Chain A
Amino acid sequence: GIQVEQSPPDLILQEGANSTLRCNFSDSVNNLQWFHQNPWGQLINLFYIPSGTKQNGRLSATTVATERYSLLYISSSQTTDSGVYFCAVGNGGGSNYKLTFGKGTLLTVNP
């Protein structure tokens, strides 16, 4: 099956700093999502981005499908950004939305 690698595994920032999280995948994909899992375990959808670039407030994401990677940018980080960030990919056909998750990046933002 498809392999998903995320880096770095852990990241500690001071409030206000910027960061870039990376997701590499081993095969072509037609589905890629970034999630934030908050300390209570809830998975929050950040981006659905199988290709291209999107921005939502302080967060943006870019997927270069031909080179099999995606980047998540967090600017002016806040303590509420803390948690685990997951990249998940899929390459099913038709209406198959099955996702394979990376191991995640644990982000800690200190005040």
Chain B
Amino acid sequence: SAVISQKPSRDICQRGTSLTIQCQVDSQVTMMFWYRQQPGQSLTLIATANQGSEATYESGFVIDKFPISRPNLTFSTLTVSNMSPEDSSIYLCSGGGHSANTGELFFGEGSRLTVL
């Protein structure tokens, strides 16, 4: 299995500011993803973090709002830009593909953001 660490684990932010979330995997993984979980809801995929190139965003998510970096196979960042109260959510990093024979994804503990 892969162990995924995120920081910050939680934060309270002011409207209009930006926050960067870091995700570190303890082993090289082929794929990394960022998900959002709004209060009381399921997980929604924001984007696929591609190593050394621009992320691939899902419908409804754009790079200007959620810029993502992935400089290597074990690290990625997600920035939530110009935050509003609607961005209050848990943001989860996931990784998978470190084993050639499985598609299993593992998740970090999440970053719980509250925007005032």
Contact = CB atoms under 8 A, between A and B. Distances in A.
Interface of A: 30-31, 33, 35, 40-43, 45, 48, 50, 86, 88, 90, 95-104
7 contacts: A33-B105, A43-B92, A48-B102, A48-B103, A96-B31, A97-B105, A98-B33
Interface residues of B, number: 25
Classify the secondary structure of B's interface with A. Answer: strand
B104 interface: yes
Contact of A95 (B33, B37, B92, B97): B97
Interface of B: 1, 30-31, 33, 37, 41-45, 48, 90, 92, 94, 96-97, 102-107, 109-110, 112
Contact of B96 (A86, A97, A102, A104): A97
